Copies of this chain bind each other. A is one copy, B any other.
Amino acid sequence: MSLPGPFLTRLREIFPAGSLFTDPADCWVYGYDNSKRQVLPDAVVFPTAHEQALALVRLCNEYRVPLTARGRGTGTTGATVPLRAGVVASFERMHRVLEFSPDNRYIVVEPGITNQAVQDHIKPHGFFWPPDPTSAAFCSVGGNLAYNSAGPRAVKYGTPRENALGLRAITGAGEELRTGVYTTKGVVGYDLTRLLIGSEGTLALITEATLKLTPLPETKRTLRAVYVDVNAAARAIARIMAQPAVPCALEFIDGNAINLVRRYSTAGLPEGAGALLMIEVDGFAAAMPPQIESIRAAAENEGLLEFSVAETAEAVEALWQTRKALSPTLRKAAPKKINEDVVVPVTELPALIAGLDELSKRYELPIVNFGHAGNGNIHVNLLYDPNKPGEDDKAHACLDEMFSLVLALRGTLSGEHGVGLAKRDYVDRELDANALSLMHAIKRQFDPNGILNWGKGFPEENSRVHSA
């Protein structure tokens, strides 16, 4: 235990029994996330109100105790792992709906509410909130906002930055603030709302969010297009995104992934399938035929092997079979995978896949790719066995080259997972040096003592701030 006694006494005044853990056995599970990284925090607290979180930040700031906000631990980059121990603030008990205005299309929620609970609350009124990470059933809205996490629907409906109106937050300096508006337009002052969204808990703790809601479409259709290779699929992706029937999902699976599924499962795919697109369109039922026709025309090229439209629920299930078989198959194929979420312009997808194939051969490591093709956002899965000598180093050397490839193709290192620990040492390869230095300066303003989420995003600067 390294927390000062007077600090602990005052922490206990803010967080009564049951809302404060200091026993390592209790704290243990709050020190990891889905990246499998782990650091044991000195204490874990469970705020249930803004004022409590405010008192917490002020206390940590006074004693310079590291403070890490945590949603539900579904992140994959280690962003909530408390590198320097200190206090973890788990927002899981702060999950109320504070206000729901269907007529103004917004809902005000606390950060610990799950994405699914928001959807459940608003669906009976005919609305949804577009961000849909795979972990939607468990992940918190606070986490979605902290990492600007999205999912397949982003291709039509955007990410949290396009679907949040305002925030209530507490800076690392212990100052509370409100950002944004209750309306879908507003241009007074600088855009602090979007500055906080995606800042990974390094600038402020979010204690309240006003989310912009979207009316549910009447219906949805699922289509599948199978291609001989990734080049043909990439041409189709560009054409699909240039026609007016914007899909609400445009998912890609590469040839390696198809072969892997074939090995362990029945893929139900034509011979010679080298790439696969899963496409969904939504809207009015009467609009389905022209939308499907427009997408079919865009999907058509000399490399198209098969184009299917699911007419029944069973047919939808059958079309998704390959995609759904992928994750369990990946677990069978290798003891460990590094799952990245790089993004490249759509026209660079063939070069990305070709480059990854070359790396796969050279490093003798299987690489399997799938993801949100409409955004050029590809989940690159590097499969390896960490128990084999040297394999872990090899995988990380390969990863390093992969990031260089992505940047050479004008891409970005992350489309939805964020930086966290996993990519913090690569950030300065992507970001402009002056932009990075302005980000450091903004960090210092919001969190002058560097107490918030130490070591994430910009490690060198963070440590400099902290030791200052």
Interface residue ranges, A against B (CB under 8 Å): 101-106, 125-127, 147-150, 154-155, 158-159, 161-162, 171, 175-179, 181-192, 194-195, 197-199, 203, 215-218, 238-239, 241-246, 283-287, 289-291, 294, 343-347, 372, 374-377, 410-419, 423, 427, 430-432, 434-439, 441-442, 445-446, 457
Interface contact A188-B104, CB-CB below 8 Å: no
Beyond A179-B432, A179-B435, A218-B290, 5 extra complex contacts between A and B, CB < 8 Å: A101-B347, A125-B242, A185-B343, A287-B287, A438-B446
In the complex, A149→B287 CA distance in Å? Answer: 32
Q: Once bound together, how far apart are the Cα atoms of A59 and B4, in whole Å? A: 52
The answer to whether A435 touches B287, judged by C-beta atoms less than 8 angstroms apart, is no
| 26 A-B contacts (beta carbon < 8 Å) | A103-B238, A104-B346, A126-B243, A161-B194, A171-B438, A175-B434, A175-B438, A177-B434, A178-B432, A178-B435, A182-B410, A183-B343, A185-B377, A187-B198, A188-B430, A189-B431, A190-B203, A191-B194, A191-B195, A244-B283, A245-B284, A284-B287, A286-B287, A287-B287, A442-B442, A442-B445
Q: Quick one: which of B186, B289, B415 contacts A183, CB cutoff 8 A?
A: B415
Say whether A162 contacts B171, CB under 8 Å.
Answer: no
Which residues on the B side are within 8 Å of A149 (C-beta)?
187
Q: In the complex, are the beta carbons of A242 and B416 less than 8 A apart?
A: no
* Chain B residue with the shortest CB-CB distance to A194: B194
Cross-chain contact B191 with A161 (CB below 8 angstroms): yes
Instruction: Assess the A188–B377 pair: CB atoms within 8 A.
Output: no
* B residues in contact with A345, CB < 8 Å: 101, 104, 106, 182-183
Contact A436 B189 (CB under 8 A): yes
**What distance in Å separates the Cβ of A111 from its nearest Cβ neighbour in chain B?**
18
Q: Is the CB of B286 within 8 A of A289?
A: yes
Q: How far is the CB of A214 from chain B (nearest CB, A)?
A: 8
Let me know if B192 and A147 touch, CB within 8 A.
Answer: no
Q: Which residues of B contact A187 (CB under 8 A)?
A: 147-149, 159, 198, 412, 414-419
Please give, as numbers and ranges, the residues of chain B lying within 8 Å of A106 by CB-CB distance.
Answer: 345
The docked-state distance in angstroms from the alpha carbon of A372 to that of B171 is 35
> Which B residue sits closest to A376, measured CB to CB?
B183
Distance between A337 CB and nearest chain B CB, rounded to angstroms: 21
Smallest Cβ-Cβ distance to A417: which chain B residue: B187
The residues of B that contact A148 with a CB separation of less than 8 Å are 187
Of all chain B residues, the one with the shortest Cβ separation from A198 is B187
Contacts of A374 in B (CB 8 A): 184
Across the interface, A188 reaches (CB within 8 A) one of B239, B246, B347, B414, namely B414
With both chains docked as a complex, state the minimum distance between the C-beta of A378 and any C-beta of chain B, in angstroms. Answer: 11
**Chain B residues with CB below 8 A from A431, complex form:** 188-189
Q: Quick check: B419 and A188 within 8 Å, CB to CB? A: yes
Interchain CB contact under 8 A, B184 and A376: yes
How far apart are A196's CB and chain B's nearest CB, in angstroms?
9
* Distance (whole angstroms) from the CB of A343 to the closest CB of chain B: 5
Contact of A185 among B159, B242, B244, B283 (CB under 8 A): B159
Residues of B within 8 A of A195 (CB): 190-191, 194-195
Residue numbers in B under 8 Å from A413 (CB-CB):
188
Q: Is A347 a contact partner of B290 (Cβ separation < 8 A)?
A: no
Contacting residue for A103 out of B294, B346, B410, CB 8 A: B346
Residue from the set A148, A195, A457 with the largest chain B CB neighbour count within 10 Å: A195
Which residue of chain B has its CB nearest to the CB of A439? B190
Q: In this complex, what residue of B is CB-closest to A441?
A: B445
Q: Do B294 and A290 have beta carbons less than 8 Å apart?
A: no
* Interface core residue of A101, A239, A416, A431 (most chain B CB under 10 Å): A431
CB of B377 within 8 A of CB of A183, answer yes
Specify which chain B residues have a CB less than 8 angstroms from the CB of A191 in the assembled complex.
Answer: 161, 191, 194-195, 197-198
* Contact partners of A239 in chain B: CB under 8 A: 103
- Rounded to whole Å, the gap between the CB of A338 and the closest CB of chain B is 17
Residues of chain B within 8 A (CB-CB) of A418 are 187
How many Å from the CB of A144 to the closest CB on chain B? 11
Find chain B residues with CB under 8 A from A162 CB.
158, 162
* Complex-state Cα separation, A181 to B204, whole angstroms: 24
Residues of chain B within 8 A of A105, CB atoms compared: 241-242
Residue of A149, A182, A238 with most chain B CB atoms under a 10 A cut-off? A182
> A189 near B435 (CB under 8 angstroms)?
yes
